[in-house]
Amino acid sequence: MAASEPGRPGPEPEGPVLFAEDGWSWAWIFAGPLFCAGAAVFELGMGAPVHWLMLTVCAIATAMCHGVMIAATRVHGRVRLTPTTYIQGTEELELDRVEQVLPLPGEGRPEASWETARTLGELHEIPRRRRSVGLRLDTGAEVRAWTRHPVALHAALETAVRSASSGTATGTAADPT
C-alpha cells in the first residue's frame, strides 16, 4: 500500500479488511458548539443577558481543539488487518514476519514478557481504554498491537497469521465497532 504522504496513513488497503478500527468520530467536533448553544438557550430561558460573543468564541475554540485531537486519533489510532498486512497508525507489519500471536493476559497470571514490549505505531504507550495483543516476530522480538477490542483483534490476527503462514490469503471482512 502506497501512502499518499510520508508519515500519514495511506488509502484503505486493497483486498478484504479482516479487522478495522478508527480513532474518534468526526461527530465529536460538534460537542463544544452544542454545549454553547445549550448555554445560550438556558440564558434565554432564564431571562438573563445572553453572552453571545463569549459563547461564539468558546464554540469556535472548542471545535478547533477537538478537530486537532480528532485528526490525531484518526492517524495514530487507526488499525487495519488484511490477509497480508497489519497496520497500526502509520506502521505496517507484514504478517509473514509474525511467528506467533501470543495468548491474551489473564486474571491472576503473572505479567507476560510481551506486555512491556515495544508498542506498534508511533505512540510510546497504549492509549487509555485500549488493550494490547502480543505478537512474536520472526526475529524473536515481541511487540504489542493494541485496540479497543482485544479479543476480536486476537482472533482475527490468529486466523490471518495462520493463513499467511500456510500461503492462503482468505477471510471475510469484520468490523467489531
How many Å apart are CA 89 and CA 81, to the nearest integer? 12
pLDDT, tens only, 119-149: 998 888 888 889 999 999 999 999 999 999 9
Q: State residue 139's pLDDT score.
A: 93
- How are beta strands 142-147 and 91-94 bridged, if at all? unpaired
- How are beta strands 91-94 and 98-101 bridged, if at all? unpaired
pLDDT at residue 34 is higher than 60? yes
pLDDT, tens only, 80-127: 999 999 999 889 999 999 999 998 887 767 778 888 889 998 888 888
Which SS3 state, helix, strand or coil, does residue 21 take? strand
pLDDT at residue 39 is higher than 50? yes
